Structure 1
Amino acid sequence: MTDLFPPTLPVLTMMGRTADGRGWLARLPALVEQLRERWQLRLAAPFHGGSCSWAAPAELPDGTRAVLKLTWPHPEARTEGAALRLWDGRGAVRVLAQDAAAFALLLERVEPGVELGRARHLPAEERLLAAADVLRELWAADPAAATASGMGRVADTAARWAEVAERQAARSWPPALDAGLFRLAARLLRELPRSARREVVVHGDFNPGNLLSARRSPWLAIDAKPMTGDPAFDPWPLLEQVDDPFAHSDPHRVLRHRTALLAEALGEDADRIRAWSVARHVEYVLWSVDEDENLENSITLLRQARILADLAGL
């Protein structure tokens, strides 16, 4: 019998760190079994990835190849299914069935399913342009329909992040840590959503690991954390992770070129994408700094954010 919950599965480790997570893990085997019976699925060994979700290849009685995904219940995951239904296969994986109360999705299986980040035979610029094609499809969805489905807003999420940034800025930090970037991020997180020239349905976590090669379309998005708001919110994880721009000998040049390239492909303002990149890069530090004992990682990340801020003229 296939082991559906091997001890090396990352989600078991990550979710086992909190009482809430352990409670969900305790219920997970029964939930998987209930859904397996309801949708008459044949399940294979789960995918070895994901920090807060369990997913496994599945096959329906008619031979349709699918993926069963169950996510730890949290606000960011609440409307993933609604967004996927709204996109209806345009730029994203299709939903075959859903149990919203259980945070469970039966999804189209994307094959061959190679992550964009692992497609190293393609130059970074080519991967960026391929991802831009996907973003344009996702952004074409009706934001009013997304709002009606209960989807959150970029502005509200950014406002919560801004509050954290202001609290971090008010603390006493050693000189090597550029706390002024916390203040800059707080300002950007409040101003950028208000000044957006349009609103779209954003993916919310558009990194190259969430883009898979497919047969019916070159690339399809998965694992959305959807919201409505400024489209320029979306590109930074892609720009940061398609390869490490800060590892290049001249990261200013690389980032200037790539942000301009992506902005042109998307029809967005390059400086706006750069400003959101500053805010989103610093946002990660807002949380990680409290677990960074000697602050070395946080200092490095903020030095990278300073490069982005210089590039954006901020």
Structure 2
Amino acid sequence: MVFAPPQRLVKALGETAPDGDGWLERLPDTLRQAVALRELTVDRIQVPGGRSSLVVLVRRADGTPAVLKLAPPRFRPEAERAALVHWDGLGAVQPLDGPETAGALLLERLHPDVSVRSLPEAKALLEAAGTLRRLWVEPPAGRVFETVAERTGRQAEAMRSTAVGSEVAAAGLVDAALAAREELVGTAPEVRLLHGTFRQSKVLAAERSPWLAVGPDPVVGECAFDLARLVRDRVEDLIGSPSGAATTRRRVRKLAESLELDAERVRGWTLFRAVESGVRALRVGRPRDAELLLEFAGWL
């Protein structure tokens, strides 16, 4: 099997790989072993694919289409497996039976090239929000997922160290984002299992349901946290629009209302997560992405 990982994955992993990490170099052997162990036939590599995992369209021994997903340990594939098992196909892609090996997931095949992002914006947001609501369930007993407070606490420390002496700190966005986080984590109204990285491209067309979520980075906490990434979907279009700021604030209100959440909490988490993403983009050398995200955050 001739194999070359998608360049999007290679670039993204290169930005975040710790020193000495050899996951990408081992990936061809890892893929061959995972395919052989499960008696799979490879149809094709999904391109451009994701930024944290390799997605391979495969067929099982009986001809059933499936997806093989391989991810480095730092992207918590075992937590993803546990969340998908707990959801058991309700609102999310269904994990399939077979050998379990670290970092490898065998999943039902959806329509990988058709996401809700293909719909007009208003319809896309409506369908995405409806899918997300189905995922917000009680966390499984006995399984410890990372909490929103833990994850954002790590991110807050990284934000502080990156922003010292930068224009971001001068603009006050980091301070505002950190202050919003402090207030939000101390007053969370509910504890649910969350998708963790939900956006339009994470909702794919399916056979057994119109739309199903994929690619969670699960976390436990309040539902408003899960909406924050969805609010800034199509951020390039928002920034390019003369009504981008008004559209963003209206989107916060509409999504909060549709899911019966506090709009101010949605706004606060959207601010924190946009600033965190912008500062992280600065840290890894993506100034254009940082500029877009921080301009968006300034509207909130």
Q: What is the TM-score of this pair, normalised by structure 2?
A: 0.89
| Gap change, CA 1:28 and 1:272, over 3 Å in 2 | same
Partner of 2:176: 184
Q: Which stretch of the first structure deviates more once superposed, 230-239 or 297-306?
A: 297-306
- Any idea what the Cα deviations from partners look like across 1:167-223, whole Å, max 9, x if unmatched? 345x2235x874411111112222212211101111111121111111211111111
Partner of 2:197: 205
Partner of 2:269: 276
Partner of 2:157: 163
Partner of 1:124: 121
Q: What is the TM-score of this pair, normalised by structure 1?
A: 0.85
Equivalent position to 1:218, from 204, 210, 226? 210
Partner of 2:297: 305
Q: Matched residues in 1 for 2:8 and 2:289: separation?
A: 23
One-letter amino acid of the structure 2 residue matched with residue 159 of structure 1: G
Q: Does 1:251 align with 2:244?
A: yes
- Any idea what the Cα deviations from partners look like across 1:120-140, whole Å, max 9, x if unmatched? xx321111110111111000x
Q: Which stretch of the first structure deviates more once superposed, 18-27 or 61-70?
A: 18-27
Deviation at 1:76, TM superposition (A): 3.6
Gaps of 5+ in 1: 309-314
| Gap change, CA 1:158 and 1:177, over 3 Å in 2 | closer
2:115 touches 2:200 (CA, 8 Å); kept in 1? yes
Q: Matched residues in 2 for 1:61 and 1:98: separation?
A: 11
Pairing 1:43-62 to 2, within 5 Å after superposition: 43-48=42-47, 49-62=49-62
Q: Matched residues in 1 for 2:30 and 2:288: separation?
A: 42
Q: Does 1:234 align with 2:226?
A: yes
Q: Matched residues in 2 for 1:136 and 1:7: separation?
A: 34
Partner of 2:64: 64
1:53 touches 1:72 (CA, 8 Å); kept in 2? yes
Equivalent position to 1:15, from 13, 16, 27? 13
1:158 touches 1:190 (CA, 8 Å); kept in 2? no
Between the aligned residues of both structures, percent identity stands at 36
Q: Does 1:194 align with 2:201?
A: no
One-letter amino acid of the structure 2 residue matched with residue 10 of structure 1: R
Partner of 1:134: 131
Moved beyond 6 Å, runs of 4+? none
Gaps of 5+ in 2: none
Partner of 2:147: 153
1:86 aligned counterpart, secondary structure = helix
| Gap change, CA 1:168 and 1:60, over 3 Å in 2 | closer
Question: What do you get for the CA RMSD once the two structures are aligned?
Answer: 2.5
Partner of 1:42: 41
| Gap change, CA 1:43 and 1:129, over 3 Å in 2 | same
One-letter amino acid of the structure 2 residue matched with residue 195 of structure 1: T
Q: Matched residues in 2 for 1:280 and 1:13: separation?
A: 22
- How many pairs align? 297
Deviation at 1:266, TM superposition (A): 0.8
Partner of 2:139: 143
1:127 touches 1:242 (CA, 8 Å); kept in 2? no
Partner of 2:32: 33
Q: Matched residues in 1 for 2:255 and 2:219: separation?
A: 21
- Any idea what the Cα deviations from partners look like across 1:6-25, whole Å, max 9, x if unmatched? 26543244435647676112
Partner of 2:79: 79
1:128 touches 1:242 (CA, 8 Å); kept in 2? no
